């Protein structure tokens, strides 16, 4: 575990949530060498197997933005990187950075960080009170339809916006950036060569979407200032027919088990 008391204040912090990414698909592609950008940065080139704090986007992000990142799948307790001040917490350790606020963006803002959210799926669209709840935690938030689930180029479009943000960020101001990537979320059939809408989403198109993400995400990392502490993870998985289930917001292994990685950009 990184000592986050040494990281906060000296590093920018980037949280990338690959919305809906399944652990098994991520691990298979990493082992096959099909996601070279991500595996080139992950410790030992491997995803860590973890359990999500929520089975759908809103629940998982609300928990993560309170300091409850996906938990290692092995027996614990497991110390957390970030924790709000909470009497009796059993996962706050000497290396945990604690904050006196209800959420991590507010805590980091109090520590001098500029907080930015670039959303993807509908819970970040700011079109309704519910779609505004998560973005409202940040000093600056961005969403447009070109960042959402129906645009095959949503991730490149989001990175274009991040390039604009980075260009105007004061050199002396630390940054906390949340990027919610919509590419894995349904619909994702259009990422699979030869697929049509009538084919629908499949595990294969889910994997194709991850290859698409890997092909573009290196540009994001290139935009980040150094030093930058990065967390890349899924918020939850999704089912493609396992035990008769489709989708998420259910208590199935493919939903609860997610890939996780953390590293400092070289």
N-terminal to C-terminal alpha carbon distance within the chain:
18
What is the DSSP annotation of 68-120? -PPEESSSS----SEEE--TT-SS--TTPEEESSSSHHHHHHHTTEEEEEE--
Give the CA distances from residue 15 to residues 19, 80, 177, 209, in Å, rounded to whole numbers and listed in that order.
Answer: 12, 15, 6, 19
pLDDT of residue 86: 87
pLDDT of residue 241: 83
Whether 80 and 96 have beta carbons less than 8 Å apart is answered as yes
* CB neighbourhood size of 118 (10 A): 25
β-strand pairing of 71-72 with 48-51: antiparallel
Low-confidence ranges of the chain (pLDDT < 70): none
CATH code for the domain of 63: 3.40.720.10
β-strand pairing of 228-233 with 174-181: unpaired
The label of the residue with tokens 């290196």 reads 218
pLDDT of residue 240: 95
Domain count of the fold of the chain = 1
What is the DSSP annotation of the chain? ---HHHHBTTBEEEEEEETT--HHHHHHHHHTT--HHHHTTSGGG-PEEEE-S-SSHHHHHHHHTTT-PPEESSSS----SEEE--TT-SS--TTPEEESSSSHHHHHHHTTEEEEEE--SGGGS-SSHHHHHTGGGSSEEE--GGGSTT-TTHHHHHHHHHHHHHHHS-TTSEEEEEEEE-TTSSP-GGGSTT--GGG---HHHHHHHHHHHHHHHHHHHHHS-SSEEEEEE-S---EESGGG-EESSS--HHHHEEEEEEEE--
Cα torsion angle, 69, 73, 74, 77, sign: positive
* CB neighbourhood size of 236 (10 A): 28
Q: What is the pTM of this model?
A: 0.97
Residue range of the domain that includes 108? 4-265
Cα torsion angle, 220, 225, 227, 229, sign: negative
pLDDT of residue 88: 80
Q: What is the pLDDT of residues 29-42, one digit of tens each?
A: 999 999 999 999 99
């Amino acid at each position: 575990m990184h000592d986050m008391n040494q990281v906060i204040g000296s590093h920018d912090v980037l949280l990338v949530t690959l919305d809906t990414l399944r652990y098994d698909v991520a691990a298979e592609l990493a082992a096959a060498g099909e996601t070279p950008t991500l595996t080139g940065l992950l410790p030992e080139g491997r995803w860590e197997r973890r359990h999500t704090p929520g089975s759908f986007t809103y629940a998982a992000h609300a928990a993560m933005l309170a300091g409850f990142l996906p938990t290692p799948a092995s027996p614990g307790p497991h110390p957390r990187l970030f924790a709000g001040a909470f009497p009796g917490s059993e996962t706050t350790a000497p290396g945990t950075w604690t904050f006196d606020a209800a959420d991590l963006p507010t805590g980091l803002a109090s520590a001098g960080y500029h907080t930015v959210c670039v959303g993807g799926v509908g819970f970040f669209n700011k079109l309704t009170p519910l779609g505004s709840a998560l973005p409202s935690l940040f000093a600056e938030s961005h969403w447009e339809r070109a960042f959402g689930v129906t645009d095959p180029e949503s991730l490149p479009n989001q990175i274009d916006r991040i390039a604009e943000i980075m260009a105007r960020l004061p050199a002396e101001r630390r940054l906390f950036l949340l990027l919610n990537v919509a590419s894995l979320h349904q619909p994702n059939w259009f990422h699979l060569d030869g697929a049509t809408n009538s084919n629908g989403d499949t595990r294969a198109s889910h994997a194709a979407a991850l290859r698409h993400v890997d092909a573009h995400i290196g540009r994001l990392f290139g935009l980040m200032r150094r030093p930058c502490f990065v967390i890349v993870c899924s918020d939850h998985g999704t089912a493609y027919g396992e035990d008769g289930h489709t989708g998420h917001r259910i208590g199935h292994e493919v939903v609860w088990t997610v890939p996780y990685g953390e590293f400092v950009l070289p």
